[in-house]
Amino acid sequence: MQKDFMDSIKARLYDFKYTPFLSSYIFSWLYINSKLLLIFFSINLKVEEKIEMLAWSDVSYITPLLIALIYVAVFPAFTLGFYWITLKYKKWMSEIQVNIENETPLDQDKVNKLRNKYRDIEVELNETFSELETAKARYKDKFNKLAQNYIEKENTIEQIKKDAIDKAVEPIQKKLDKVTLDLENTIDAKVLIEKEKAEEIEKLKAELEIAIAENEKYVSSISDVDIVEGNLINDKSEKIKKLIEKLSNDQKNILKIFNDNDSSIQVDTIKRIAFDTYKINKPMVDLRLKELVDQKILKKNSLWYSLEDNGLKIIELIFN
């Protein structure tokens, strides 16, 4: 609260400083009406006496206003005139002094003093220039040294960075090389395993071919036995009947496919009809077809299977 009051007073005084009319009016009003103020604030007079002695008509407003206007308007003009006269006077005094000094010759002692002073100033100036050049050379050398030190430190920092990077990358590179080597070894191992598998497959193929050859020999021997039996029985129909008795249900279903379609059928057609009609899967169909070929009931020609003479007679006996 007190701070706000003080700030208000300062602001009001600031206004008085830059608005002299208001302040001059107030001070002139107080001066002109000082008698009334003394009566109003007197402690020796009673209130009734103050009322009798004071009247509004006694208060002067015009005179303080005129004094304020004179102070604000007329007084600055007089001040400006006095200031102009003062500056003119100083100028005239300076011109008179210069004229007197120009007309008055210098004595030899003053000349010598001025020359000596000039020489001293010249020597001092030369010394100052010399010191300046020396300082320039010194600072130039210092700058070159600082630049060289900066370059050397920068190179040292770059080398330290490079060494740190190489040190950090080295274990990673070793791990990468190890992983690469392990990967190569793994790939080589896989290739070796694949090679061994291929060799094993070739070996199994060879064994399978041997088994197939032995099987054909066995079937041939069975056929020879049948021929011998046929010769012994001397009745071909008996041989056909024995073949029919040996047939399985799947073999009979495959022969039924030939009976229903044609005497010569593609293997894919046989497999499709066998699966759709009798639910015989394809590997089983291949096995049954091979058995019928071995028994001289069917014969194979590339992708086709055809009925042998025995097959035709068997179909005629079974399905007709």
DSSP 73: I
Question: pLDDT tens for residues 60-78?
Answer: 778 888 888 887 777 777 7
The verdict on residue 110 lying in a domain is no
**pLDDT of amino acid 214:** 58
**Could you tell me if residue 46 is inside a domain?**
yes
**% of the chain exceeding 90 in pLDDT:** 8
Please determine, for residue 308, whether its predicted confidence score (pLDDT) is greater than 50. Answer: yes
CATH of the domain at 268: 1.10.10.10
Q: How far apart are CA 10 and CA 214, in angstroms?
A: 132
More confident residue, 149 or 236: 149
pLDDT at 170 over 80: no
Domain closes at, from 88, 103, 118 = 103
Smallest Cα–Cα separation from 156: which of 164, 145, 166? 164
Confidence of residue 55 (pLDDT cuts 50, 70, 90): low
Last residue of a domain, one of 40, 68, 103: 103
* pLDDT at 125 > cutoff 70: yes
Is residue 39 a part of any domain in this protein? yes
How much is the average pLDDT of 273-294? 90
Higher local confidence (pLDDT), 311 or 99: 311
State the Cα–Cα distance between residues 296 and 192, nearest whole angstrom: 45
Q: How far apart are CA 168 and CA 184, in angstroms?
A: 25
pLDDT computed for residue 273 by the predictor = 92
In a domain, 296, yes or no: yes
Mean pLDDT in residue range 13-18: 53
Parent domain of 293 = 235-319
The per-residue pLDDT for 82 is 79
- Residue 225 in any domain: the answer is no
Q: What mean pLDDT is predicted for residues 3-10?
A: 67
Tokens 């071995």, located at residue: 294
What is the total count of domains within the chain? 2
- Tell whether 86 is covered by a domain: yes
User: How large is the average pLDDT for residues 195-223?
Assistant: 62
